[in-house]
Amino acid sequence: MKKPTQYVARKPDEHGFIEYPAEEHETWRILYERQIKVIENRACLEFIDGLDILGLSAEAIPQLNDINEKLRDCTGWSVARVPALISFDRFFELLANRQFPVATFIRTREELDYLQEPDIFHEVFGHCPLLTNPDFAQLTAIYGELGLKASKEERIYLARLYWMTVEFGLVATRDGLRIYGGGILSSYKETLYALESSDPDRLPFDILEALRTPYRIDILQPVYFIIQSLSELHSLTEMDLMAKVHESMKLGLLEPKFPPKTA
């Protein structure tokens, strides 16, 4: 997971306050205002509720202490300041302890639409609102606990489950398909593509299918899985997920629905 990056996370003062320059607050404003418009009638209600609970706004990059106060009241979660990239061991350890890693930098204007490193907009806007939801929060914690104990190969399969739910999941509602995955909700282009393009497959969620479906991080996703409600995420925590991982390992991967990555 550790690769060279141009980004350096900003450090807090002795009171936990991080001073961001005006230009970075402006980048947050651009991202926030653009995204808040595009997720209207596309994000699930639980996400919108979470935005309100956290009190996020376009005004400024939020302070982690403020987010922690709201999250702890809802689900016992908090966020943890991290560098741009962390090891898998550290990632799983934080999740298992109900701490969501947040890199305290924001992307440059040149990478406004996409960057491989998760920045504070992706983590806070994309993921933190749903950490106010008990079902989503529980799955994320269990994922961390399992990842801590898993072998390298098991982690690769677990990563696919995380990708197809927490990052790129869709949910069926009375009003139609909605988005709950943070990787979609923090991306202007993917928010539109995930619900409105005819290109991707949108499949009913099946855990073995999700565990066996290859993905790439640098493209719009060719496959999305649809759960029937966020309570379905909680039901995943009540099954033997590692038994499903081992079953998937025996069955092997499905055929990728994307071209191989070129150098």
Q: What amino acid occupies position 223? A: V
Q: Is residue 173 part of a domain?
A: yes
Number of compact structural domains in the chain: 1
| 13 occurs within a structural domain | no
Per annotation, catalytic residue among 24, 46, 123, 167? 167
- pLDDT score for 115: 82
Task: Tell me the residue range of the domain where 70 lies.
Answer: 22-251
3 part of a folded domain:
no
What is the Cα–Cα distance from 167 to 169, expressed in whole angstroms? 6
Q: Does 202 map to a domain?
A: yes
- Exactly one of 24, 46, 186, 190 is catalytic; name it: 186
> Is the pLDDT at 240 greater than 80, yes or no?
yes
Binding site annotation covers 127?
A: yes
Whether the pLDDT of residue 1 is over 60: the answer is no
The 10s digit of each residue's pLDDT in 195-206 is: 999 999 999 999
Residue type, 119: D
Is 186 in the active site? yes
Active site residue 167: yes
At 41, phi and psi to the nearest 5? 65, 15
According to the annotation, is 15 in a ligand binding site?
Answer: no
Could you give the C-alpha distances from 200 to 18, 44, 140, 195, 233, in angstroms and in order?
40, 20, 25, 9, 22
The DSSP secondary-structure symbol of 99 reads E
| Active-site residue flag, 234 | no
14 annotated binding-site participant:
no
Q: Residue 25 catalytic?
A: no
Rounded Cα distance between 255 and 34, Å, is 35
Residue 3's pLDDT band (boundaries 50, 70, 90)?
low
Catalytic annotation, pick one of 78, 93, 127, 248: 127
